Structure 1
Amino acid sequence: MSDKNMQIWSKVDKTDTRFTKKAKVNGQDITSLSGTAMVMKATELFGPVGIGWGWRIVEERFDEGHEIFIGEGDKRACIGREIGHTVKIALWFMQDDKRGEIEQYGCTRYQYKTSYGMTTDGEAPKKSLTDAIKKALSMLGFSADVFLGLFDDQDYVQQLQAEQAIEQAEDRDAEIERQKQERLDYIKSVVETMQGAQSMQELKKLHDHAVRRLTARNDDTAIKRIAKELRDLTPKFTQESAA
């Protein structure tokens, strides 16, 4: 795969953690992305909306869903249907003096039943449009780390936050030094905790957790230090087991 093919993707795949939040949708925990933040990122790359990139509405409709009932038995009555709003857009962008275009859908609940009764979301069309724009941009690699599920890994998120803290710091050198000391303190803490392990199982668990975190940070030196501690301590439990 050529670098040219990944030219856009590699510039936009990481998400600024300041513009994300945890949300629950249909019982599932997800990472919610700010639509405005994604528009800002696209503007940084392509230029102002309407000049370097933009979109046009291809289709818009309201779709009827299943019937909604209240009451039980003979008193059961239909009070309407769920209605969803759908919009289809063609998102266009300029790259190397060429025009690209992506079609995507955005969907939002418009009329539905809540625990308080029927409700209508007057913001549904706007939400559907934002949804479609975000999905179209994701096809170019925008916030790919979220869509790839990397935000489910807390170690990845912490590493991303550390990198962004350096980029956004007024005194970058001071922030780098702070993180270096934090790293040393963490390694020392892991080693001391491993030395206090009461079983081989506990020792291995401490080692594996630290390695996952350090791998997310690409800290090979620290990984080797933790691995050495595991090797040094393993004979202790092997001997105890043999005895």
Structure 2
Amino acid sequence: MSIFSDYTEFRYIYPPRPEAAIAPALLKGFGEGWAAQPKYNGSCAVLFINGYRDYQLYNRRNEKLSLQNVIQYNLLNDSEKYMVLCGEYLNKNKFGEDGKAFNHKFIIWDILVWRGRYLIGETFENRLTLLHELFGSSRGYVSKNNMSIYNHLHTTQVENIFMAPAYLDGFCELYQDVAETDLYEGLVLKKANARLEPGFREKNNHSWQIKARKPTLNYKF
């Protein structure tokens, strides 16, 4: 067991993010052993939930995220201990799958701490399984006035909080599909059996992740 396993008080954890990028055409070379999640065009964020009452939302540079709407993050926690989630806070006025602005939402794509235990040594596959056990895998959300169905988002029990689905094959076709939506930047591929390492430095856990994103003026892929 890691000496960092117990997480009983706030300490910032940098999110596991990919450094390496590939051209989308190279996705055909990836298959068994990899899992792909959509790459969302927002602000990478780390959510620290302390029990059922307190939470803090930070960006990937260890700064409190500014200009955020109130969301009931504490409803995600299933214990009085810490839960830490990585995700994307949508604040760039991008358009969603229905062509309408999709702003001030939080999309979970990893879990780092659960019930006060830092999940160091747990595989990405195990952490995905835990997320699905906690939040389910529904792609529909029903409110008082509307019902929404999503292609590349899982809904949760909390309004404006979603979870990224994971795909195990067909990455080229998946990329072409998500690239049609403004909200999606591309894909992030992660080794399913990669074990979580401590995230107390900005660059961490990048050896088992690769991103493939849409070309822009700032980068070719």
TM over 0.5: no
Highest CA radius of gyration, 1 or 2?
A: 1
Report the TM-score when normalising by structure 2. Answer: 0.22
Report the TM-score when normalising by structure 1. Answer: 0.20
- Bigger helix fraction: 1
- Structure scoring higher RCO (CA < 8 A, sep ≥ 6) equals 2
